[in-house]
Amino acid sequence: MYPRIRRPKTKPKNLESRLERIEQELSQIEEKRQLASCICGVEGGIVTIARGMEAEFRKEMNRPCPVHGFRELFIIHAIEVEPGDFSSPAKEIEYPEVNALLEEYERRLAESKRANSLGAIFQV
């Protein structure tokens, strides 16, 4: 006699749902793996900017994140204050180079977020 062929007891629809679940789990694993190399935010992107630190800030600002492209930084902006007296309050000393770099960073961050949101809308 011929050996008996065993047929799977699961229905095709059940197989499809199991396959979808496995694909979702694989994509989640890949996403976690990619996020592990992220250098944005508090985990890897704490950057201080103050007078005399413009070159270091520019270097960090231009360093791309391997996951997100443009790097979202956690910025510590150190300021200098001119002391006041009883008649006038203390005031911040302005440094145009530092302010220009911060404005450039904010502009580029907004552009990156806008491009990412448009990319997410048009993904198939």
> Which residues lie below 8 Å from residue 39, measured CB to CB, with a gap of 6+?
45, 63, 65, 66, 71
The verdict on residue 29 lying in a domain is no
The verdict on residue 31 lying in a domain is no
The verdict on residue 116 lying in a domain is yes
Model pTM?
Answer: 0.62
The verdict on residue 6 lying in a domain is no
pLDDT digits (tens, 9 = 90+) for 93-124: 888 899 999 999 999 999 998 887 876 555 54
Domain extent for 45: 39-122
The verdict on residue 17 lying in a domain is no
pLDDT (0 to 100) of residue 124? 46
The verdict on residue 13 lying in a domain is no
The verdict on residue 9 lying in a domain is no
Task: Flag whether pLDDT at 21 surpasses 50.
Answer: yes
How many domains is the chain built from?
1
pLDDT digits (tens, 9 = 90+) for 22-66: 899 988 888 888 778 888 876 667 888 888 889 999 998 999 988
The verdict on residue 20 lying in a domain is no
Kindly indicate the confidence band of residue 79, based on its pLDDT and cuts at 50, 70 and 90: confident
> Which residues lie below 8 Å from residue 40, measured CB to CB, with a gap of 6+?
65, 67, 68, 71, 72, 73
